[in-house]
Structure 1
């Protein structure tokens, strides 16, 4: 099953427990969910997730749910099961733009290219509009970087669209790789440029990308020295977006102590990473231009005492605030895999994450087996003051 939480908008956060809805109604598992809300019709919500192919009797595919009534009812299907989207493996990412275009990226089963798909009907249908492949040795646009060894594999693509641009970043067998395209209206998407290696991003993974109010672009990633610790968050900024300048040097944001494959009791098989995420305020309001970074911090390496933090920058990522702890529990249990979203009408932000605070190993709600810190629930919080503080957490 895949669950979605229905609650009020970030403009009026609620302290009561929101309603959980099983979107997929499948008895099998989904994972790595991507969710997008259409800014031209906020009742239009789309979810795409991984599915277990072998368990489902499939060789490829992802689950998709589409709602046009704010999540009350859903149209569901399997996509990318050797249909017009190809042989989809996993790692979906979604983004609506201001025109109502819905962009999706994901991974193929075998091919070492990254597909970009477009929907102009709210997610009911998609078509592949580009396959991002290794650039030629001389691109003629942007900084080509060192292309040797690129695209031996590709991993965790992330897509975002706003301000007449769509961008995707992913790990291209070592460094982060970025490309973008102009957008002028519904279904009006130009060609993606040949792409560029992000400077100083070798072995930096699990990235995100955001677009600022002037069309500038930031990518963030987690640089790890081992699977179990040593993680650091870095960002790079392209100050003119689709213009000729390209991404600048990396800027340090935070130490995380979270490795690239950090195994913790609630995630003993699949592990976790710091899962950095970005949100850029384009509201024109009090915090216009402020960019937020959410991430996981392990208080002491290998302690499993992980917490969720948010930092912000008011100078396009050149400097960052101190981290603000989002989870408000008093335990040393694990909080992990956060996501952040910003309401572009109010500037309010919401953060959600997995949380083991209620698993003390003593039974009751939050504990299924009498073992502490190996069960997790979904929790969240809001900020209405530019990320300087967060509301009491809700589950």
Structure 2
């Protein structure tokens, strides 16, 4: 097993960060790309991630540190397209393509389950085996009401074939026994695509579950972006696909410096108790504003997919710059919509940042914020993967992306924790400073506190007990330029008893405090 245990390089004296959110390198060994990530809603400190071809990672501290290894599936092989999900029991699954020894390449879709008690994976089960036909680009989801697992993907008669007699279709399969067995795959699309793996191939089927157990899925192909649904657990589907939007320029397009790029759609549904419960969202990118002006879009439906809004532009920059490789998630605790994408708005070349966009009004408007600490400049002779990913629950947002700099690939996440009721992704610049809740909280031995200064000032940071007595001095009258800072507090060094304590941040701009609970 290879370990990627990444410790915070932040001393108690404090270190300024150049980005608004701390970036964590999950893996910079080998050629990791095409990442996936999932948070456990029942224990948000637990996350599992994956990347091509066979890399897995797990975190038990909310994404601050990671341990990883290489996935093995005897008899099935592991061949990329990672998709990580978590079921209602807290079990994580890694879906991937197959490369079975002595058999056809990518001939099935494989699911392996992770055990957090032993840190091991099962050998895996599979669905979709159909002779030598290729099974590609699978994605899965879980129905929280019954723990059913649903997976959709593209089947190619012969991958890459230009023979008009060969076609691509969208398949669906499910498991009602935690991935032990799978139903016979069912074709769900009306109009088939070709097998070239381009605009007229049907791809991008990402399933979502509705509040009443509906299954929703959209994909791209010769008809544009279309939609289907099942109201009976996947047994039957619509007779005809429902049109959502055209996709000018197609889903297969070029981005400078990127080996290959796509605008394939992502489907999500709000199952929270927010005012937007039941709203279905489909997210994609296209060239409707010009070949060199790739933009991020969302369409939504509030009637179960019968009708769809006009596309809503997610990126809020002026026209003329590129945004690409989008992914979307919905916070199941509050219905907030989060979209992650690469973004070149700040440059006149191929330098690339990572942004997320957040909507708190049902997808009507989006706030954009840069989350990468520095840009990267990719070049297109290195395979970069086909997607990013993002997961969120109760304000804890964890995007994941690949970075390609000087020919070296790495996979990163950002620590984004949004307080309840916070209307912006970051503190309003009109506020002189802002102190965030420590994380984790409660904590056993150590915790992390972040604060942002919008003006330079002196800072004193201390820890007080319930009676207001100072028990630890972390910083005393230190001058800090404007920026975001993170402090690591190791309570075990001070032999503190369990109980309630307070971080107190005193600056020349004012004083704030946050309550925390030490519970060994």
TM-score (norm 2): 0.60
Query: Which of these residues, 238, 242, 263, is aligned with residue 251 of structure 1?
Result: 242
Q: Contact between 1:34 and 1:48, CA under 8 Å: does it hold in 2? A: yes
Provide Cα deviations, 1:97-145, integer angstroms capped at 9, x if missing partner: 222121221111324111122224289322244211346xxxxxxxxxx
Of 168, 172, 179, the residue aligned with 2:173 is 179
* Separation in 2, partners of 1:275, 1:375: 23
Alpha-carbon distance in structure 1 between the residues aligned to 2:129 and 2:188: 14
- d(CA) in 1 for partners of 2:22, 2:256: 27
Select the structure of larger CA radius of gyration. 2
Relative CO higher for 1 or 2, CA cutoff 8 Å, sep ≥ 6? 2
Alignment-derived partner of residue 106 in structure 1: 96
Tell me which of 192, 211, 214 is aligned to 1:213: 211
1:277 to 259, 266, 274: 266
Matches of 1:126 and 1:249 in 2, distance apart?
39
2:392 maps to what in 1?
Answer: none
Q: Cα 1:337–1:127, aligned 2, differ >3 Å: closer, same or farther?
A: same
Once residues 43 and 156 of structure 1 are traced to their aligned partners in structure 2, the CA distance between those partners, rounded to angstroms, is 28
Q: How does 1:338-357 map to 2 (within 5 A)?
A: 338-357=326-345
The equivalent position to 1:337 in structure 2, one of 317, 321, 325, is 325
Q: Tell me if structure 2 keeps the 8 A contact 1:255–1:297.
A: no
Match for residue 401 of structure 2? none
Q: Which residue of 2 aligns with 1:222?
A: 220
1:393 lines up with 2:369 in the alignment: yes
Post-superposition CA distance 1:327-379 (Å, at most 9, x none): 1111412111101011111011110001111221xxxxxxxxxxx2x232211
Report whether the alignment pairs 1:168 with 2:151.
yes
- The answer to whether structure 1 residue 263 and structure 2 residue 227 are counterparts is no
Checking the alignment, whether the CA contact within 8 Å between 1:238 and 1:248 is kept in structure 2 is: no
Residue 93 (structure 1) shift: 0.7
Runs of 5+ consecutive residues of structure 2 not aligned to the other structure: 9-18, 100-104, 157-167, 194-201, 372-520
CA distance 1:350–1:236, change in 2 (3 Å): same
Match of 1:324 among 309, 312, 316: 312
Counterpart of 1:194 in structure 2 is 184
Q: Which aligned pairs between 1:367-382 and structure 2 lie closer than 5 A? A: 372=349, 374-382=350-358
Task: Give the CA RMSD over aligned residues.
Answer: 2.4
Q: Is there any run of 5+ residues in structure 1 with no aligned partner, and where?
A: 7-15, 52-61, 136-149, 225-230, 361-371
CA contact (8 A) 1:151 1:172 kept: no
TM-score by length of 1: 0.78
Query: Quick check: 2:271–2:278 contact (8 Å CA) kept in 1?
Result: yes
Q: Counterpart in 2 of 1:127?
A: 122
